[in-house]
Structure 1
């Protein structure tokens, strides 16, 4: 079986499992399947394997923490009026880019995915405060990255068996 076909089978089957988990047993924890799929994609964006798993989990979690801090900063910046949120986001983006000088935070896109994931959860209007959104976001990132790793492993086995 070709690698692309093996990945299609592995990702397709595991997407069924992941979606069932998030809408079933994990729903009580406010974890989000869309955040997991972003992390899953980030895993492959980072080259897969253990390195892709670590980069995804570290950088996306860091980005989520920066995103949470940026949202929390909007209140103290209220004197800027309509510019409070844009300035808070700009500061967060600058922090992510500057942090890329640290080798384990060097994957800027994955940090941005994490920032967007926590901000998206907060902005969805599910009565999520920034501090309440961070744990489900990081847990969703971890599960999504694990599904990326599992899909790579399964695809590898399917390719070898052919």
Structure 2
């Protein structure tokens, strides 16, 4: 089997497994969208061990930065200045997120932005999640946990798809 066909079959099979988990036994704690994004990023970063480290480290850093931002947003009063205050809060957090790239371990800014964005996608699109109770709770509704888990699972789905693709190619 040629490389593209082998990788396509591998990704398709694992996407089917991931979908089964997301709509079946792991429904509500494993989000297919939050796994396929880091899965794709794994390939964008070169689909090697360095990609695994960069993807997981920086994406979860983005989750942490988004969580901190969300906690700060819950402290703001919902008055006429809320949009301005929220915009300033996000501005400051994103500047810190980008400046953290001065640390070699956090230098892959796009992954940090992906983690940040995925966290806010979850918080803003899922009803009743952007509140202190959820953000500080020790449960799988807390984005620190649920999005980070999906990032790790998605990254390792990328690893598994490469490995399975190589096995299929050698057949």
Q: TM-score, normalised by structure 1?
A: 0.91
**Alignment gaps of 5+ in structure 2:** 137-141
Instruction: Answer yes or no: is 1:137 the counterpart of 2:147.
Output: yes
2:37 maps to which residue?
38
1:70-149 aligned at under 5 Å gives the runs 70-78=69-77, 80-128=81-129, 129-131=134-136, 132-149=142-159
Q: Deviations over 1:51-76 (max 9, x none)?
A: 11111111110001101111111244
Q: Deviations over 1:58-102 (max 9, x none)?
A: 111000110111111124454853212222221221112111111
Q: Once superposed, what is the RMSD of the aligned Cα atoms?
A: 1.6
1:9 maps to which residue?
9
1:144 deviates by 0.5
Q: Deviations over 1:22-70 (max 9, x none)?
A: 2212125x22110001110111121112111111111110001101111
What is the SS of the residue equivalent to 2:126? coil
2:22 maps to which residue?
22
Q: Contact 1:71/1:85 (CA < 8 Å) preserved in 2?
A: no
Q: TM-score, normalised by structure 2?
A: 0.86
**Alignment gaps of 5+ in structure 1:** none
Q: Contact 1:64/1:137 (CA < 8 Å) preserved in 2?
A: yes
Q: Tell me the matched-pair count.
A: 160
Greater percentage in helix: 1
Q: Which runs of 4+ in 1 moved over 4 A?
A: 77-80
CA distance in 2, matches of 1:2, 1:84: 54
